[in-house]
Amino acid sequence: MFREFRDFLMRGNVIDLAVAVVIGAAFGAVITSFVGDILTPLLGLLNVPDFSTLTFTAGKATVNYGLFLNALITFVLIAASIFFLVVKPMNAMAARRAAGSPAEEPSTKVCPECASGIPAAARRCPMCTSELPA
């Protein structure tokens, strides 16, 4: 049983997942710091107020809707940061790679006589034995 558990832990996808979680946590800290320490103060320079003190009382309950607004603004800033710092550059890199790679030749073709799929290099159809144009 211990050997099976060890084999499970040593499979590639478990290790990959563990590395992804650790890197994700570190990346989350970087993005949180970027938003909290750089973007949020810049919003202050643009006269966007801190909403954390906005509340209203409903009976005995105090509703802190200002904290929700701050969390919503932080979410939008984090989403925009991830989009512009990670997603957009990765899409541009993938597009450059795709543009640089040659188009693949098709590996199959259709026999003009019997319409069966055959290898592209075939000179004679294996289904109907008709000769194929070069």
Q: Is the pTM of this model over 0.85?
A: no
- Tokens linked to 114: 């019997």
- Residues 95-123 have pLDDT tens digits of 988 887 677 778 888 888 888 888 888 88
Q: Please indicate, yes or no, whether residues 49 and 10 belong to a single structural domain of this protein.
A: yes
In this structure, the dihedral spanned by the alpha carbons of residues 130, 132, 133 and 134, taken in order and rounded to 10 degrees, is -150
Give the Cβ contact number of residue 92 at 10 Å: 10
Same-domain pairing of 13 and 30: yes
pLDDT of residue 126: 86
Helix, strand, or coil here: 127?
coil
Distance CA 17, CA 38 (A): 30
Let me know: does 55 contact 64? Beta carbons within 8 Å.
yes
Which of the given ranges, 5-9, 15-19, 107-111, has the highest pLDDT on average? 107-111
Domain co-membership, 91 together with 122: no
**pLDDT the model gives residue 65:** 93
| CATH assignment of the domain containing 35 | 1.10.1200
Domain that holds residue 85: 2-103
Is residue 75 located within the same domain as residue 111?
Answer: no
> What is the predicted pLDDT for the residue at 55?
93
**Nearest 10 degrees: Cα torsion 105, 111, 116, 119:** -40
Co-location of 75 and 114 in the same domain: no
pLDDT mean over 13-18: 78
Structural domains of the chain, count? 2
Is residue 51 located within the same domain as residue 116?
no
Q: Cβ(72)–Cβ(81) under 8 Å?
A: no
Q: What is the pLDDT of residues 20-79, one digit of tens each?
A: 899 889 988 988 898 888 888 888 888 888 888 899 998 999 999 999 998 898 889 888
